[in-house]
Amino acid sequence: MNNSFNKTNYKKYCQLLANDYAYFQKVIDVYGFPPLFGRSISFETLVQIILEQQVSLASARAAYNKLKEKIKTVTPENILALTNEELRACYFTKQKTTYVKHLAQTILSGDLNLKRLITCSDDEAKIILKQVKGIGDWTADVFLMMAMHRCDCFPLGDVALITSAKELLQLPPHTTKTEIELISNNWKPYRTLAAFMLWWSYINKKNIQWK
């Protein structure tokens, strides 16, 4: 059985971490429990996450909204019906245009069936997702966290997450990702919930609009 969370146990798992680590309790005390960040297990969600690669949430949202305005429903068929120029007009870079079109083709060919990932382990799901051009560790981790609600993912490639960990845990600025990964091992098997609390702290400190 895959270790996942839902509306019923989400706050309980957050509180389990907070009971052991004062810095997580501080996040809850100051900002409340983080929202249960959630998205559907779908092609559209992967397109959203690809848009979020290495840019601000505001930039990604602008591109996503422009795309929705253009095609209404984000499906593989509708993406492939667009020219590269039309995707560029929706703020897609050349690279991300290639990624989403390849993803659309992979979905339509049946080479990637997202619903089948539900029965896979975290490692198995990540291996399958990373076979698609443009999907690396960060994108795969975020999909498992946001769409599949797997409990124990920690995307070390996430700049906001690393920044927040250094701030909240009062770590030296030169602390490496490897060192933070070692610290995160203490949060197993709830590293996704730890990441959500770190993101929530970052979002509130920076006054970032996340919806």
For the chain, what is the HEC assignment?
CCCECCCCCHHHHHHHHHHHCHHHHHHHHHHCCCCCCCCCCCHHHHHHHHHCCCCCHHHHHHHHHHHHHHHCCCCHHHHHCCCHHHHHHCCCCHHHHHHHHHHHHHHHHCCCCHHHHHHCCHHHHHHHHCCCCCCCHHHHHHHHHHCCCECCCCCCCCHHHHHHHHHHCCCCCCCCHHHHHHHHHHHCCCHHHHHHHHHHHHHHHCCCCCC
CB count within 10 Å of CB 170 equals 7
- Domains of the chain in start order, with CATH, are 10-37+153-204 (1.10.1670.40), 43-146 (1.10.340.30)
Mean pLDDT by 10 residues, the chain (211 residues): 87 97 98 95 98 93 97 98 98 97 98 96 97 97 98 96 97 95 97 98 91 74
Residue 150, phi then psi, degrees to nearest 5: -75, 140
d(CA 205, CA 60): 20
Res 1: pLDDT: 43
Q: Give the contacts of 124 (CB within 8 A, at least 6 positions apart).
A: none
Q: Contacts for 4-8 with beta carbons within 8 Å, 24 or more apart?
A: 4/148, 4/149, 4/150, 4/151, 5/36, 5/149, 5/151, 5/192, 5/193, 6/149, 7/36
Does residue 150 contact residue 3 with C-beta atoms inside 8 Å? yes
